[in-house]
């Protein structure tokens, strides 16, 4: 019998071991995650789930253009239909609520809410109004990201994030959205992961718009951060009751050896991934080491820009996925040295929860004005299959438990972390990897649009229910 060992321990202490066997997720009793005000939610993004790209006056975005180009996205996938959330949003909100998730992080598609002349598109605005009103009716805390990478193509045609004017257009867009949606948004995030927009979009061409030049990357980053800084006071004026912040992805870089050169390489990796964004926001200056790594790429910065960019934040959103082990490349930079024998996900990313804890505690000592933090994304992709109506995503359950334990350790070490959003509520269009990579805690069958709650989501729901029931 497979259960011999458990039968023995059951006999000694039935309640505890039964619970452990049935539930590999629930955090230990002393974890801060039991605090009722620690927000647990799930995240999505417009282009990854909405579909309906031609409906109700939505304009093309850079991701429509990019994904239509052969060879840019795995299997030629596009976001044209995605999870059809634009039509299924009511059922999706019911599903979110049925899981007991307390927070929902979504993004607005800029090309849905403004026409090419910059005038409001009522039909697009109404979609988000209906969605946010329903979320509020369900008592769900709403985090709204204004820019999760779907830039209107007509702005890209005028230079996109290489054109300083795009930052001002973004502030106009933030103005419209915060006037229209005030009262239904608990927290506004200006940008999602400017590192990806600037570096993957303009530096190496892996993402839309697909340009590849180091100088483009730093200039695009500057305009993205400027857009953020210009939008902040607008959001504050129009919607004073909500929190305002930005979401940054962070990467852990570890050195392949104790040599000074490899240590320096790991430092430069983290400068490129973290300090490039966090230093301007929290110190008002770009890290000079960045330009040692990429000589001659200093962006054009006008007087006052750094002050605009470094205005105080109410929160900082942090997205964390994996670490990269690096060595010196023998010149000014670093090269990846993938470790053997470590656990990896469907993306090939290493499962490394300590990286999240170490980065968070490191930021607390580096940035004395570190704002309260929300983990706005964390999760993993696995090749999940529905078998007899169930999805047993064992690796994800362990991944989430380990990363939540890392968050708890960071809280215990004094970092002010107020919540955590699973990436993602449901499987969706994973950018250059299309639909093959499944990040959801809910499975999506793209041929029928049927949603199936995975085991990970059931266990998160069970924990939330237990937490809620506590006095
Ligand atoms: C992040 C993105 C998110 C999703 C996850 C896996 O970089 O913000 O949209 O693709 O990665």
Return the structure tokens found at 144.
Answer: 């709204």
Q: Does residue 249 sit in helix, strand or coil? A: strand
**The pLDDT of residue 1:** 30
Q: Which residues are annotated as a binding site?
A: 48, 148, 192, 321, 423, 430-431
Give the helix ranges, DSSP H, for 103-213: 110-113, 122-137, 153-156, 165-181, 194-195
Share of the chain above pLDDT 70, in %: 95
| Alpha carbon of 62 to ligand 1 centroid (Å) | 16
Q: Is 377 a catalytic residue?
A: yes
345 lines ligand 1 (CB under 6 A): no
Q: What local confidence, expressed as pLDDT, does residue 22 receive?
A: 65
213-238 residue pLDDT tens: 999 999 999 999 999 999 999 999 99
Q: Which of 180, 193, 270, 350 is catalytic?
A: 193
Radius of gyration, CA atoms only, the chain:
22
**C-alpha neighbours within 13 Å on the C-beta side of residue 146:** 28
Residues (pLDDT < 70) of the chain are 1-22
CB 140 within 8 A of CB 104: yes
The pair of structure tokens assigned to 422 is: 């699973």
Q: Tell me the C-alpha distance between 407 and 459, whole Å.
A: 18
CA–CA gap between residue 405 and residue 427 (Å, rounded): 24
Separation of CA 109 from chain center = 15
Omega of the bond prior to 209 within 30 degrees of 0, cis? Answer: yes
If residue 10 lies in a helix (H) or strand (E), which one and from where to where? Answer: helix 4-12
Q: Where are the domains of the chain?
A: 18-470
Q: What is the pLDDT of residue 21?
A: 55
User: Ligand 1, residues 50, 321, 377: which to mutate, most atoms within 8 A of Cβ?
Assistant: 377
* Predicted local confidence at residue 316, as pLDDT: 99
CB of 43 shorter than 6 A to ligand 1: no
Alpha helices in 319-414 (DSSP H): 353-366, 394-412
* Residue 106 near ligand 1, beta carbon < 6 Å: no
Q: What is residue 7's predicted lDDT score, i.e. its pLDDT?
A: 33
Backbone CA torsion sign across 447, 451, 453, 456: positive
Residues flagged as binding site for substrate: 48, 148, 192, 321, 423, 430-431
Is 276's C-beta closer than 6 angstroms to any atom of ligand 1?
Answer: no
Paired strand residues for 114 = 120
Sign of CA dihedral 282, 285, 287, 290: positive
How far apart CA 455 and CA 391 sit, in angstroms, is 6
Tell me the CATH number for domain 18-470.
3.20.20.80
Task: State yes or no: is 193 an active-site residue.
Answer: yes
| Residue to probe by mutation, ligand 1, list 74, 106, 273, 431, most atoms within 8 Å of CB | 431
């Amino acid at each position: 019998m497979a259960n011999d060992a458990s039968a023995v321990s059951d006999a000694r202490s039935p309640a505890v071991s039964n619970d452990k066997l049935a539930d590999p997720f629930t955090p230990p009793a002393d974890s801060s995650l039991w605090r009722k005000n620690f927000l647990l939610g799930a995240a999505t993004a417009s282009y990854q789930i909405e579909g309906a790209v031609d409906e109700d006056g939505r304009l093309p975005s850079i991701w429509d253009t990019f994904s239509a180009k052969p060879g840019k996205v795995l299997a030629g996938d596009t976001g044209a239909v995605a999870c059809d959330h634009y039509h299924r949003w009511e059922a999706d909100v019911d599903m979110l609520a049925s899981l007991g998730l307390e927070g929902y992080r979504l993004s607005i598609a800029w090309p849905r809410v403004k026409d090419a002349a910059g005038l409001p598109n009522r039909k697009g605005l109404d979609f988000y109004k209906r969605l946010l009103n329903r979320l509020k009716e369900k008592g769900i805390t709403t985090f709204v990201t204004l820019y999760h990478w779907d830039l209107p193509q007509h702005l890209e045609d005028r230079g996109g994030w290489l054109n300083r004017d795009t930052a001002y257009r973004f502030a106009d867009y933030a103005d419209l959205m915060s006037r229209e949606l005030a009262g239904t948004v608990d927290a506004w995030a200006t940008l999602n992961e400017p590192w990806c927009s600037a570096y993957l979009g303009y530096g190496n061409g892996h993402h839309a718009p697909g340009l590849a030049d180091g100088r483009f990357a730093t200039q695009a980053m500057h305009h993205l951060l400027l857009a953020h800084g210009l939008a902040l006071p607008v959001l504050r004026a129009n919607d004073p009751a909500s929190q305002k912040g930005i979401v940054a992805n962070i990467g852990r870089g570890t050195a392949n050896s104790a040599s000074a050169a490899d240590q320096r390489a790991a430092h430069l990796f983290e400068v490129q991934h973290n300090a490039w964004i966090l230093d301007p926001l929290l110190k008002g200056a770009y890290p000079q080491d960045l330009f040692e790594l990429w000589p001659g790429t200093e962006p054009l910065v006008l007087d006052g820009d750094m002050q605009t960019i470094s205005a105080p934040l109410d929160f900082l959103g942090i997205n964390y996925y994996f670490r990269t082990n690096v060595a010196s490349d023998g010149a000014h930079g670093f090269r990846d040295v993938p470790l053997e024998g470590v656990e990896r996900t469907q993306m090939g990313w290493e499962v490394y929860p300590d990286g999240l804890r170490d980065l968070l505690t490191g930021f607390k000592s580096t940035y004395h004005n570190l704002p309260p933090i929300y983990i706005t994304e964390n999760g993993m992709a696995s090749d999940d299959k529905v078998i007899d109506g169930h999805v047993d995503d064992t690796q994800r359950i362990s991944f989430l438990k380990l990363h939540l334990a890392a968050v708890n350790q960071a809280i215990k070490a004094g970092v002010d972390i107020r919540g955590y959003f699973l990436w993602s509520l449901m499987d969706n269009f994973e950018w250059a990897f299309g639909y093959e990579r499944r990040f959801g805690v809910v499975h999506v069958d793209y041929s029928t649009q049927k949603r199936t709650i995975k085991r990970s989501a059931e266990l998160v729901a069970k924990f939330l229910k237990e937490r809620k029931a506590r006095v």
